[in-house]
Amino acid sequence: MLYREAGDFKTTYAKDQALIPIRQDRVMLYIAIALALLLPFVASDYFLGSIAIPVLIMVIAATGLNLLLGYCGQISLGSGAFMAAGAYMAYKCATAFPWLPMPVSIILAGLATAMIGIAFGLPAVRIKGFYLAVATLAAQFFLLWLFTHVPWFVNYTMSGVPTPPPATVLGVYVTGADAPNWAKYLFVLSFTAFLTWIAYNLVRSRIGRSWMAIRDMDIAAELIGIRPLWTKLTAFAISSFYCGVAGALWSFCFINTVEPTAFDINRSFQILFMVIIGGLGSILGSYFGAIFITLFPIFLNSAPAWLGLDIPGDIITHLEFMIFGAMIVFFLIVEPNGLARLWQLGKEKLRLWPFPH
Amino acid sequence: MAENLLTVENITLRFGGVKALTDVSFDILKGEIRAIIGPNGAGKSSMLNCINGFYHPQEGRITYKGQTRKQMRPYEAASQGIARTFQNIALFRGMSVLDNVMTGRVLKMKSSLLEQAFYFGRARSEEISHRSKVEEVIDFLEINAIRKTPVGRLPYGLQKRVELARALAAEPELLLLDEPMAGMNVEEKEDMSRFILNVNAEFGTTIALIEHDMGVVMDLSDRVVVLNYGEKLADGTPDVVRSNQAVIDAYLGASH
Ligand SMILES: Nc1ncnc2c1ncn2[C@@H]1O[C@H](COP(=O)(O)OP(=O)(O)OP(=O)(O)O)[C@@H](O)[C@H]1O
Ligand SMILES: [Mg+2]
């Protein structure tokens, strides 16, 4: 199958504005959806539970940060804490209103996290760059402190680390210890797919253009009539919503506990690196970033064994840091649009192939 | 015959001890092309910045469309039909030409966040109807071929044109152009002059124009106001201004 734009002429602007204007891209999307739906039938339980589920959840978090950082240009080092907020809010919601369908509890948790995001995004109205980074870092530490020290958030559980309540969708358990991996996978997949679609809609609408305008030249944006306050706060709210949903799914469908250590500062940096390596300002890049950052350490851990080498674990951990560090520096300096840009370049080459002129 | 669109009266603008504008008054009539000229640092850009609310003058009054205020606000100016281009290009560099121009219509779009998230209702219909309006502007300024190009990759002259397109997309009543031809070659200047005249003639847009090239100013403008060291030096038709002794002195003094 050749990748072509030529010959695929648009006769109306409406067609040119379709979500995916190029036909081959559409076909690729259908194939990807089909593969994602078929995965439970072919993949091992380990792959579903330990790779596919966390990757899909991190795609949501990375997309959230990408909307804020890649599209609106506002830095946040608090994504981990917003995930935590989502996890704790979903726990509170699911235990306080057990009759609520689980997807509703998770969406409500996302909305509550959006409110928290707005509160911590308020400084962005006045400050930028480094100072904003520090302010969001404060959010990271404050929120985690709050969830650890106020027992109300864990319903006064003695251990302080409660287990999410089991819940069913269409009669199948999707959360809790008894939920099968394939059901959790499909549950998470539907959130990821839905939120990806929403993200694409947002960035091709007025709000997406307003975010990018603020990112690229905030003064000109304001003089055109874009309100910086409203625009930045919606970015914080929506980004936090995504992180909140991701955090709830992480606790409910992956680690099966609600605990702060899963959402510490390392998590925030991990999400940031996904966005940088995947591609700032690209939704598809969030997928690349989440897949790469999750799979690469696994690959690094198993590659020596495949090659018959015996490399100690701590060296591999160091190696991992060094390679990630080098890649982040590379992408920040050479290719801020990350893997997504490399992907696009590949497509452009293919589009002209075999006649490059 | 023509009525007043904008009147500025006794505008004084200070930055700390520096007086950028001192007691400047003039008016702009509906439908005219009004040039603002003067040597470097005369306060021309500052004047435009006061008109669209980016700077807030300490003294004076601004009357726009019959409404008098002490200062404009950027949002208010934009929503009341004032659009502008900048002396140093202020495009959204990471966005395509099309998205830049679409952004110019931001105030005309009314869809809610929810409609945009689900791309239904007004979000969808607005994207389509505004796109066709934007394509008219793109046709008008002859930038069809570059509509999908990220503006950061365009040469300087074209960027200036895209900036004009973004301003025009807002369908302004008053268009403020800050040195739209600076740094252009003769051919590009001729194109730009033609566009400015066409905008004025076809859409009836009132234009305030800052320009250093005297030939261009004399050709395009109906009336000229001259600033020097923040003060108004002269005001009138190009011929009157050109023969004004104070203006001749200021220009000779400034350029030699
Ligand atoms: N934001 C600002 N802060 C401090 N001083 C300013 C500011 N903006 C303008 N000025 C000062 O006001 C005076 C007028 O500047 P302005 O930019 O309006 O001049 P101009 O006529 O547009 O000049 P040019 O032809 O060089 O563009 C200058 O002395 C400038 O230094
Ligand atoms: Mg100037």
Has residue A257 been placed in a domain?
yes
pLDDT of residue A351: 65
The answer as to whether A71 is a domain residue is yes
For the cut 90, the answer to whether the pLDDT of residue A192 exceeds it is yes
A158/A28 same-domain check:
no
The upper half-sphere exposure of residue A145, i.e. CA atoms within 13 Å in the direction of its Cβ, equals 6
B107 touching A (Cβ < 8 Å): yes
Q: How distant is the Cα of B161 from the closest Cα of chain A, in angstroms?
A: 16
Show the domain range for A20: 1-42
Residues A168 and A132 in one domain: yes
Pocket lined around ligand 1, Cβ cut-off 6 Å: B 15, 18, 20, 38, 40-46, 87
The CATH 3.40.50.300 portion of chain B extends over 4-81+172-252
pLDDT digits (tens, 9 = 90+) for B168-184: 999 999 999 999 998 88
- Whether the per-residue pLDDT at A4 is higher than 80: the answer is no
| Cross-chain Cβ contact A202/B117 below 8 Å | yes
Q: Which residues surround ligand 2, an ion (CB under 5 A)?
A: B 45, 87
Q: Would you say residue A357 lies in a domain?
A: no
Question: Is the pTM above the cut of 0.95?
Answer: no
**Ligand 2 geometric centre to CA of B84 (Å):** 13
For residue A208, being part of any structural domain is answered with: yes
Q: Tell me, yes or no, whether A181 and A230 share the same domain.
A: yes
CA angle A285, A55, B114 (to 5 degrees): 65
pLDDT at A11 > cutoff 70: no
Q: Kindly give the number of the ligand 1 atom that is closest to the alpha carbon of B43.
A: 18
What percentage of chain B exceeds 90 in pLDDT? 76
- Token look-up 């999307």 returns A29
Per-residue pLDDT for A6 more than 80?
no
Among A331-335, B60-64, B102-106, B156-160, the minimum mean pLDDT is found in A331-335
User: In degrees to the nearest 10, what's the CA dihedral of A44, A50, A56, A58?
Assistant: -170
Among A27, A42, A57, residue at a domain's last position:
A42
What confidence tens digit (pLDDT) does each residue in A126-183 have?
A: 877 788 888 889 999 999 999 998 888 887 887 878 888 887 788 778 878 788 889 9
Tally the residues of chain B: 256
Distances (CA, A) of A167 to A49, A154, A175, A328: 18, 18, 5, 40
Q: Does residue A22 sit within a domain?
A: yes
Give A 6-25 residues with CB within 8 A of chain B: 13-14, 17, 19
Cβ-nearest to B104 among A19, A208, A224: A224
Superfamily of domain B4-81+172-252: P-loop containing nucleotide triphosphate hydrolases (3.40.50.300)
Nearest listed ligand to the Cα of residue B226: 1
Render pLDDT for B187-242 as a digit per residue (tens, 0 to 9): 999 999 999 999 999 999 999 999 988 888 988 999 999 999 999 999 999 988 88
Overall average pLDDT of the A184-202 stretch = 96
Domain count, chain A: 2
Look at residue A304 in the predicted model and tell me its pLDDT.
76
Record: contact A198-B118, CB cut-off 8 A: yes
Contact A219 B102 (CB under 8 A): no
Q: Residues B16-59: pLDDT tens digits?
A: 988 999 999 999 999 999 999 999 999 999 999 999 999 999 99
Q: Are residue A165 and residue A203 in the same domain, yes or no?
A: yes
Please, which residues 266-325 of chain A have a Cβ atom closer than 8 Å to chain B?
A: 281
Instruction: Give the confidence band of A339 by pLDDT, cuts at 50, 70, 90.
Output: confident
What average pLDDT does the structure give for chain B? 91
- Band the pLDDT of B256: cuts 50, 70, 90: very low
Clarify whether residues A227 and A86 are in a common domain. yes
Determine the residue among B101, B119, B160 to mutate to test chain A binding: the one whose Cβ has the most chain A Cβ atoms within 10 Å.
B119
CA-B13 nearest atom, ligand 1:
12
pLDDT number for residue B245: 86
Q: Where are the alpha helices (DSSP H) in A150-205?
A: 181-203
What tens digit of pLDDT does each residue of A213-231 get?
999 999 999 999 999 999 9
**Claim to verify: residue A8 and residue A136 sit in the same structural domain:** no
Closest ligand 1 atom, residue B179 Cα: 27
Confidence at residue A66, expressed as pLDDT on a 0 to 100 scale: 96
- Asked if A118 and A267 sit in the same domain, the reply is yes
Q: How many contacts does A have with B, using Cβ atoms within 8 A?
A: 96
B23 Ramachandran zone, left/alpha/beta (phi>0; psi -120 to 50): left
Indicate whether B98 pLDDT > 90.
yes
Is the same domain home to A31 and A94? no
Beta strands in B30-89 (DSSP E): 33-37, 59-64, 67-69, 82-85
Hey, are the CB atoms on B119 and A206 less than 8 Å from each other? no
Between chains, do B99 and A210 touch, taking CB under 8 Å as contact? no
Q: In the structure, how many helices (H) and strands (E) does chain B have?
A: 10, 10
CB of B243 within 8 Å of any CB in chain A? no
On whether residue A293 sits in a domain, the answer given is: yes
Residue A285 in this model has a pLDDT that exceeds 50: yes
Same domain? For A292 and A177 the reply is yes
A98 and A131 together in one domain: yes
Nearest chain A residue (CA) to B92: A216
* Assigned token pair, B172: 């302004």
Q: Give the DSSP letter of residue B95.
A: S
